[in-house]
């Protein structure tokens, strides 16, 4: 890990924070204060940022790459909570949870992260009504996302969950057929979708049969978005394109 050189750091941090939901409607002076306190850091794959129950000194916004959030079960197994990318934040809600992280965070692909002091956030939430409301909005978004996750696990079969995952990598205006590169390992995708690797392989084959997608290594070709969305979204209360955007944690 290394800290990126300072000159462009502040402007990059300011631009990222000014567009983030946590700073929506917050005055420029406060955003600038966080941008000045932030640190842009480059991390290699496998770096652990913090573990469950660690004291929360920092929270993070992803500038590029992918970060895994996870919890460890009593028997030592790992449950993947989420995988985050550009513009998504994590660790900020620890200020409301006795100052401890309720999950661990690990870099799963080379990433650039903006690290920000949790104490500054706690102070701002205490002193600034707008920031407190923005934090409540962040928590509400997180709860809505969790509800959607439960719906997916309850109502969608394994093939539909994979289809849903692929649709979230697509934009409705992409030229078809759509060529995607899976953002991280298939084993991690399987864990993220709540299934074992062998279940993932069988479900991917079924998805291939149902939608005519082609999968070669980490490359996926989706010939028709309508076909994919009809299959993946039939057991869901949302239609494609899903209203999900970047959420905080």
Residue 245 has pLDDT above 50, yes or no: no
Do 44 and 107 form a contact (C-beta atoms < 8 A)?
A: yes
Rounded CA separation 111/63 (Å)? 7
Cis check for the bond before 177: say yes or no (omega within 30 of 0): yes
Distance CA 66, CA 121 (A): 23
Whether 123 and 86 have beta carbons less than 8 Å apart is answered as no
Write the pLDDT tens digit of every residue in 117-130: 999 999 999 999 99
53 C-beta neighbours (distance < 10 Å), count: 13
**pTM for this predicted structure:** 0.83
> How far does the chain reach from its first CA to its final CA, in angstroms?
23
Q: Which domains does the chain have, with CATH numbers?
A: 2-153 (2.60.120.10), 156-233 (1.10.10.10)
Percentage helix, strand, coil for the chain under 3-state DSSP, each rounded to 5: 45, 25, 35
Shortest CA distance to 68 belongs to which of 51, 84, 53?
84
The model's pLDDT over 186-244, given as tens digits with 9 standing for 90+, comes to 999 999 998 999 999 999 999 999 999 999 999 999 999 999 999 998 888 777 777 65
């Amino acid at each position: 890990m290394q800290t990126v050189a300072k000159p462009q750091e502040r402007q990059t941090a300011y631009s990222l924070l000014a567009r983030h939901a946590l700073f929506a409607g917050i005055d420029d002076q406060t955003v600038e204060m966080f941008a000045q306190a932030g640190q842009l850091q480059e991390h290699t794959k496998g770096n652990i940022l913090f573990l469950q129950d660690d004291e929360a000194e920092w929270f993070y916004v992803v500038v590029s790459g992918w970060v895994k959030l996870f919890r460890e079960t009593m028997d030592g197994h790992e449950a993947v909570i989420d995988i985050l990318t550009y513009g998504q934040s994590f660790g900020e809600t620890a200020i409301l949870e006795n100052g401890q992280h309720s999950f661990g965070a690990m870099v799963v692909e080379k990433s650039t992260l903006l690290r920000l002091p949790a104490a500054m956030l706690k102070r701002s939430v205490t002193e600034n009504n707008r920031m407190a409301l923005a934090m409540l909005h962040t928590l509400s978004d997180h709860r809505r996302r969790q509800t959607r996750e439960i719906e997916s696990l309850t109502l969608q079969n394994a093939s539909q969950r994979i289809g849903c995952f692929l649709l979230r990598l697509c934009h409705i205006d992409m030229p078809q057929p759509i060529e995607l590169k899976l953002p991280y390992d298939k084993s991690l995708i399987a864990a993220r979708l709540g299934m074992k690797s062998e279940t993932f392989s069988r479900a991917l084959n079924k998805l291939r049969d149902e939608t005519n997608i082609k999968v070669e290594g980490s490359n996926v070709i989706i010939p028709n978005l309508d076909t994919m969305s009809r299959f993946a979204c039939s057991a869901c209360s949302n239609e494609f394109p899903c209203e999900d955007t970047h959420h905080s944690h």
